[in-house]
Amino acid sequence: MTGGQPGCRCGDQILRLDPRAEGMLDQIDDAGAVLFSRYHDVAMWPWHGDRIVFVGDAAHATSPQLGQGANLALVDAVELADAIAAEGSIADALVAYSRTRRRHLGFYQFATRALTPLFQSDSRAIGWIRDRVFPASRWLRPLRRRMIRTMIGADRGLLRRPLPLAI
Ligand SMILES: Cc1cc2nc3c(=O)[nH]c(=O)nc-3n(C[C@H](O)[C@H](O)[C@H](O)COP(=O)(O)OP(=O)(O)OC[C@H]3O[C@@H](n4cnc5c(N)ncnc54)[C@H](O)[C@@H]3O)c2cc1C
């Protein structure tokens, strides 16, 4: 397989990383046989309008660096149900929903955007930094705690308490 960008011998690169991919690569004759993904961010606020509310990817799709899209959509659903139960009208519930979700979603939108170049860049320097800093963070307790908080979908930013795990 020589697909991907013109002149790119992507198959050779993949086989160098993991020879077990050979059987799969044999089935691919040209770039037309593979799907290329494109990322885009959805940025909006508030996440409601007049008798309409946006949740999940429709409200805040991001690139998949942190693997949190489904988690965030589930928290949206919980918070929306709580707001409807707590407020006297749907209009008030939607206002409360947009306000409540702002910090949590804002953190993940910011973090995903900031990390995208680390994971998707062609820069060797950035890749070098990523491959050293991320494994080392396992041994630095504060950094490890923060990474766990972020990867379970509970983080709300550097100075804010995480979401309580009971949600
Ligand atoms: C490759 C990949 C890997 C991912 N990995 C992770 C991960 O590890 N962890 C994680 O948390 N998230 C992950 N995500 C993100 C996660 O899949 C999404 O964030 C999540 O599915 C968003 O849920 P949603 O319900 O908002 O949207 P969707 O899951 O996209 O659901 C929207 C639904 O609406 C339907 N629909 C669209 N238009 C219409 C219409 N006009 N009428 C009726 N129905 C319609 C669609 O068919 C679809 O079923 C990943 C995403 C991708 C692409």
| Ligand 1 atom at minimum distance from 55 CA | 26
The verdict on pTM exceeding 0.75 is yes
Nearest CA to 56 out of 103, 12, 105 is that of 105
Nearest residue (by CA) to ligand 1, atom 21, is 70
Is residue 139 helix, strand or coil?
Answer: coil
pLDDT digits (tens, 9 = 90+) for 97-142: 999 999 999 999 999 988 888 888 888 899 898 888 888 888 888 8
CA–CA distance, 45 with 61 (Å, rounded to integer): 13
Q: Please count the CA atoms within 13 angstroms of the CA of 154 that sit on its side-chain side.
A: 13
CB of residue 73 inside a 6 A radius of ligand 1: yes
Q: Predicted confidence band at 47 (pLDDT cuts at 50, 70, 90)?
A: very high
**Average pLDDT of 135-162?**
85
Per the listing, tokens 């062609």 go with 122
Mean pLDDT of 47-57: 96
The C-alpha atoms of residue 165 and residue 151 are separated, in whole angstroms, by: 13
Q: Residue 3: what pLDDT?
A: 43
Q: How far does residue 57's CA lie from ligand 1's centre (Å)?
A: 6
pLDDT 10s digits, 2-40: 444 555 677 888 899 999 999 999 998 888 888 887 888
Neighbours of 66 (CB within 10 A): 19
Q: What is the pLDDT of residue 109?
A: 93
